[in-house]
Chain A
Amino acid sequence: MSGGDRKKRACDRGQGWEEAGAEFYQESYPAAIEADLQQALQRDPSHIATLLPSKKSRVATAKRIRNDTKTTLRRRTSTRSRGTTTSRRMSTNIHDAAVSMLPDLSENLSNEERTWEEIMQIKAMPVCMAQKIQLKNQLQSATKLRLQGFEQLKWQRRKAWQQFRIRMKEAYSKMELWNDSLKTIGGNFGMGIVAYFLFIKWLLYLNVLLFAIIFLFIVLPATLLDMPEDETCVNSNNSHSISCCSELYWNMTQESGNIAGILEYTLLFYGAYSHMTYTSGIFFNLPLSYISATVGVFIFSLIVIVKSAAKSFKQRVVENEGQFYQYCNLVFGGWDYCIHNEKSAAIKHKALYNEVKAFLEAERLEEERQNRTREETTKLFLMRLFINLIVLAVLCGCGIFIYYIFEFSFNQISPQIDETNITDSHLSLNLSLNRIVHLFFEFLPYMCIVILNFAVPSLFRYLVSLENYSPSFVIRITLFRTVFLRLSSLIVVLTSFYRLIVTEVKDNECTNNTSKRPLCWETFVGQQFFKLYITDLFFQFFMTFFINFPRSLIAKHTENKVLRFFGEQEFDLPKHVLDVVYLQTICWLGLFYAPLLPLIAIFGTFVLFYIKKFACLVNSTPSSKIYRASKSNAFFMLILLISFILFTVPVGYSIAEIEPSKSCGPFRGFKSVWSLLIVVFAEFPDWLQSILYFLGTAGFGVPAFVILTLLLYYYYAVSIANKHMVTVLKNQLVLEGHDKQFLLNRLSAFIKQQQDQNKYHQEQANELGTFS
């Protein structure tokens, strides 16, 4: 021990502490923190900074842990420092850091509930198990007040609830789907990819719920309730009344013997549902239930998606300054601790290395961009413009191509239907050949769409590499182009349906024969979506197992560079997300016309999980890009939300505007599906009607709009103020930090000076001593 320290201590206590031995010192010194300070100063005065309360990790945690138990907070804060020291004295053999956390045991008598709470808090402490057990035993053996009456009851209930939660957790973990698969995927590819599979799982559950709604309100009543028979066609004098058209349609479906015909009049499609109201015994309005369930499903989907998107959006807002934290995020959150495979670990190392490099590169690019000459800028701009034009042209070309293919295939099918209907006695060989051709033409447009969806994105990927964007932007722009391609092909399909369907149907016809509108167009549309769904799913299956799998085999077993280049594939997340979202969109689109489509979608998503798992684990090598779990989740939801909103519009339009077919479905005879709701509305009691009517008038609408706008503005202002506050506080924090730094430097300089001085004095004293 140097003399300076002793002197300092003496100053602190003002007594002859110099004689005190180290042990005695530690035992009886009341403020242990000061002892720490002394010790550290002995070693190195400049280390004083590490002793600041804000730099003490464990203490900080301990504080928080205590703050968590709200009931104990008030009492605790006053006794905290004392508590820490008592426990320190109690178990000197346990190492410092851990002990400083031990809660106060001896001072106060706590009641049972509080003790129990404290025991539950132990698990959050960073000490080893032996100490935890010791702590728990101490807490349990300490004398405590028994709770009386109601409090006791309340505590028992809390305890039981905790137990119940643990039980539920256990049961849930047993039920949870695909746990092992997710673990394997995580071990090989990291959490970003796991997030994708969780997204598929989420969609599966969503589809189950959608199906449950539809099943309960549409399918179950339709099967259980024996709907009253429609009046027969003979009785009515108009040969093109609803009943006659229905009969015509019914006969047609029975006659055509092919599979599509059999499927046509099943509960799978819109056409089979009755338009009658069930009145014997219980009252059940199937058409009303049909439309409400559909609307309900859409609203439910919207709420669920928005809720999920908002959750990830909130995260994004929290890391709003995220760009500034990218390095920290990468370094501290970069490693996926679940990786358990050496090969993946090596790839992950490489990916992290690349990512760091990419960040630095982006920084440099940014600099370069600022230093770019005018000439280069113009050149680049022209290049980008040109490529964007090409992309636009390709998209338009695809749209037109799909449109004509549809036209072509529909023209090919229609005469064949007549042919097969007329000549029943054809040779069976001819017939089966016909059927194959028929089937081919039927599926031709969908095959074209799917093939385009596979071919065009790779073209886009090539084009984007010419544009010289920053890497993150490249991913985004390719993705949006691909989304556009997929969605545009769906839009084209919808337009071709629209042209077919929206025609005037005269009173004396069941359907418009000149425009070849099918007898039951809703079923027709439902079938198209059904086919699209099945084709796409099949194509996923086919591509994964029969194209990509051999490719990956080739890549694994060959040394040839060219072959390897063609065979190797990375798990390209945006593409796979699109696959899933696309299927889900088809499900929503077709839902109204094929109520059982969610059931198919349940099956589809379930199979898709395994297809994608195979594509991920067997076919692909881990991606050299890093996908962030949080970001990718937000991104999935965004894509899903966009496509959902985009495609509720056509469904909404068809419900509100297009005339349902006369010969089938729950809405035959109405001008539009919506008019049914108007009829129902007219049956409401007067007061309800007037209220609802009032809600629709400008008298309500304008004030409501104004109030909402004001609220919006208010929240906007609050958020701006908060943002400002954040920057102010941050600046203040930085300033405080500087002040602290300054003071610490001065302090340590002062201490050093003091030490030197003391040394000097002592030496002088010694010298004097030797002299005298």
Chain B
Amino acid sequence: MGVGKSQFSEEELQAYQDLTYFTKKEVLHAHQKFKALAPEKVGHNRNAKLPMSKILQYPELRANPFGDRICKVFSSSQDGDCTFEDFLDMMSVFSDAAPKAVKAEHAFRIFDFDGDDMLGIGDLRQVVDRLTAPQRLNETDMQQVLQYILDEADLDDDGALSFAEFEHIIEKSSDFSKSFCIRL
């Protein structure tokens, strides 16, 4: 990885290793992937800011119904454009080594479309819609599903899931930490 080495100093790599769930080698590997999204831009400036449309070309994100949300959550400028460091953060959270709590935290932000720190009916409806797209559940089915979700998880009956409630579900779901994973 001669190319990668020249773009990062040893200290930077050490810092990245300390601050993410990656080893130095994986950091370099992640940079390769990042560079592949826009070779000419990243070639000049290793920390170039790529627009969301470019980031969404990463295969896993392209296929993901929440791709844009993921970009927005991890973007340091909050508009979906990501620098390499944002990308690294993203991959670190999605890596196998990241603990469930960290994943849950980010998942909550991804699902929280309106950003009010609660998963309300609107958020849940969007999540379900995005999951089943292009098919759509008809209105009665959708109502029923949302009702069931709230029945299951909304412990204090306020019609929305708070983070504590969301985390409670995630704790009980062994699938989550397995499925909320992107292998580099």
Contact = CB atoms under 8 A, between A and B. Distances in A.
Contacts of A576: none
B173 A166 contact: no
A644 B76 CA distance: 54
A408 B173 CA distance: 54
A533 to B, nearest CB: 32
Interface in A328-382: 328-329, 331-342, 344-345, 349-350, 352-353, 356-357, 359-360, 363
Contacts of B60: 187, 337-340
Interface in B94-109: 94, 99, 101-102, 105-109
Interface in A183-229: 183, 186-187, 190-191, 195
B169 A325 contact: yes
Nearest to B167: A60
A55 B118 contact: yes
B179 A126 contact: no
A64 interface: yes
A324 interface: yes
Given A337-B181, A345-B63, A630-B175, A54 B101 contact: no
A52 B163 CA distance: 11
A61 B101 contact: yes
Contacts of A357: 137, 141
B149 interface: yes
Given A332-B107, A337-B180, A740 B156 contact: yes
A54 B133 CA distance: 33
A342 B178 contact: no
Nearest to B141: A360
B19 interface: yes
Contacts of B117: 50, 55-57
Contacts of A349: 65, 131-135
Nearest to A324: B152
A255 interface: no
Contacts of B66: 335
A607 interface: no
B85 A129 contact: yes
Given A128-B85, A325-B169, A352 B19 contact: no
B19 A129 contact: yes
B85 A736 contact: no
Given A123-B21, A170-B25, A315-B174, A332 B15 contact: no
A652 B181 CA distance: 44
B101 A64 contact: yes
A37 interface: no
B94 A337 contact: yes
Contacts, number: 219
A132 interface: yes
A58 B23 CA distance: 26
Contacts of B175: 191, 329, 333, 628-630
Interface residues of A, number: 81
A327 interface: yes
A130 B164 contact: no
A130 B173 contact: no
Contact of A122 (B19, B64, B116): B19
A103 to B, nearest CB: 14
A318 B177 CA distance: 15
Interface in B67-90: 74, 76, 78, 83, 85-86, 88-89
B20 A123 contact: yes
B116 A325 contact: no
A417 interface: no
Contact of A60 (B20, B135, B164): B164
A662 B128 CA distance: 71
A356 B19 contact: no
B28 to A, nearest CB: 12
A119 interface: yes
A723 interface: no
B65 A335 contact: yes
Given A57-B108, A338-B60, 20 more contacts: A52-B162, A55-B118, A128-B89, A315-B174, A324-B152, A327-B145, A327-B152, A329-B173, A329-B176, A331-B131, A332-B111, A332-B176, A337-B181, A340-B60, A341-B63, A349-B135, A356-B128, A356-B132, A356-B141, A733-B155
Closest A-B pairs by Cβ, 8 of them: A737-B156, A129-B85, A57-B163, A340-B59, A345-B63, A128-B76, A630-B174, A333-B176
25 contacts: A60-B163, A60-B164, A120-B18, A128-B86, A128-B89, A166-B23, A318-B172, A321-B172, A325-B172, A327-B149, A329-B176, A331-B128, A335-B65, A335-B131, A336-B179, A337-B64, A339-B63, A342-B62, A342-B63, A352-B131, A356-B137, A356-B145, A359-B148, A630-B174, A741-B157
Interface of A: 47, 49-50, 52, 54-58, 60-61, 64, 95, 119-120, 122-124, 126, 128-130, 132-133, 136, 166, 169-170, 179, 182-183, 186-187, 190-191, 195, 315, 318-319, 321-322, 324-329, 331-342, 344-345, 349-350, 352-353, 356-357, 359-360, 363, 628-630, 730, 733-734, 736-738, 740-741
